[in-house]
Amino acid sequence: MDRIVMKGMAFYGYHGVFPEENKLGARYHVDTELYMALDQPGRSDALEDTVNYAAVHDTIKGIVEGETFKLIEALAERIASEVLRTYTSINEITVRVQKPHPPAPIHFEGVTVEIHRKRA
């Protein structure tokens, strides 16, 4: 299946288990892979034959910046379900949510959750 990859989206959100995370917030990075047929838009060169990735970005931004989750797993699940619900031409989605600097007494670049969901 064809796909549109949206990589490196950065948002500021208030997610986490600790109250400080919900109060102070942090930067989150989101990548998505949108699986859908791209043959028709490839031939027509018409936006109405594909998904407008700027609109998908705005949907994701509204979730990351407008809602609060304890776990990035829940954040990723919400993104996947809302994108599939809103954009019916997308058949499957992979969502990666990275928390670059989790508040843990260990040193690493961050933690990433990746999920893949299909239209039911």
Taking the whole predicted model, whether its pTM rises above 0.85 is answered as: yes
Give the per-residue pLDDT at 13.
97
Q: In this model, does residue 104 exceed pLDDT 80?
A: no
- Helices (H) and strands (E) counted in the chain, each on its own, are 4, 4
pLDDT tens-place string over residues 18-75:
998 899 999 999 999 999 999 999 999 999 999 999 999 999 999 999 999 999 999 9
- pLDDT exceeds 90 at position 93: yes
What was the pLDDT predicted at 86? 98
Q: Length of the chain in residues, anyone?
A: 120
- Segments forming the whole domain that contains residue 82: 3-118
CATH code for the domain of 98: 3.30.1130.10
Active site residues: 99
Q: What is the per-residue DSSP string for 22-48?
A: HHH-EEEEEEEEEE---HHHHHH--GG
Order of all β-strands in the sheet with 111-118: 3-13, 26-35, 92-99, 111-118
> What is the number of domains present in the chain?
1
